[in-house]
């Protein structure tokens, strides 16, 4: 493995946390051969610079807290980044700031979504669906955050 390639990989991780799959693509774009890619990735994982479990947990927490994403959207994003299903499941099971329904209801309150009529409830359902909340959780959050509660 070349020192230059390893230094570049470390710099890339320093700019933005990456998954193993993303680093594999990054190295491939720099025309590193399969053996060299494998050695760089092995070195980075052994020295904890790359850790898909850590990435999945941090990504999940950030997207829940900062972007108001639901589990479905988080799961899709992690899959696109090459995270294994078992690591995604573990990350989504992390205790957070309440259940999916709690987070969705808080999001509706923060956005001051009007839930007094069918149009408002429909808009709320659409917003929650786009953020990755299941239909069941979205309906429960709308009922919880509705004008009667």
pLDDT, tens digit (0-9, with 9 covering 90-100), for 13-71: 999 999 999 999 999 999 999 999 999 999 999 999 999 999 999 999 999 988 999 99
Burial of 3 (0-12, 13-18, 19+ CB in 10 A): exposed
Whether this model's pTM surpasses 0.75: yes
For the segment 128-145, what is each residue's pLDDT rounded down to a tens digit? 999 999 999 999 999 998
pLDDT at 1: 63
User: What is the residue extent of each domain of the chain?
Assistant: 3-46, 52-92, 100-145
């Amino acid at each position: 493995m070349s020192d230059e390639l390893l230094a570049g990989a470390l710099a890339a991780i320093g700019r933005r946390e990456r998954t193993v799959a993303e680093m594999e693509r990054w190295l491939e774009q720099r025309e590193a051969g399969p053996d060299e890619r494998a050695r760089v990735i092995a070195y980075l994982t052994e020295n904890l610079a790359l850790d898909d479990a850590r990435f999945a947990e941090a990504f999940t927490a950030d997207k829940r807290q900062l972007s108001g994403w639901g589990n479905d959207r988080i799961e899709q994003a992690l899959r696109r980044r090459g995270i294994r299903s078992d690591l995604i499941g573990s990350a989504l099971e992390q205790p957070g700031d309440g259940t999916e329904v709690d987070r969705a209801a808080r999001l509706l309150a923060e956005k001051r979504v009007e839930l007094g009529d069918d149009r408002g409830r429909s808009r709320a359902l659409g917003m929650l669906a786009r953020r990755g909340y299941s239909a069941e959780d979205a309906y429960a959050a709308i009922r919880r955050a509705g004008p009667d509660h």
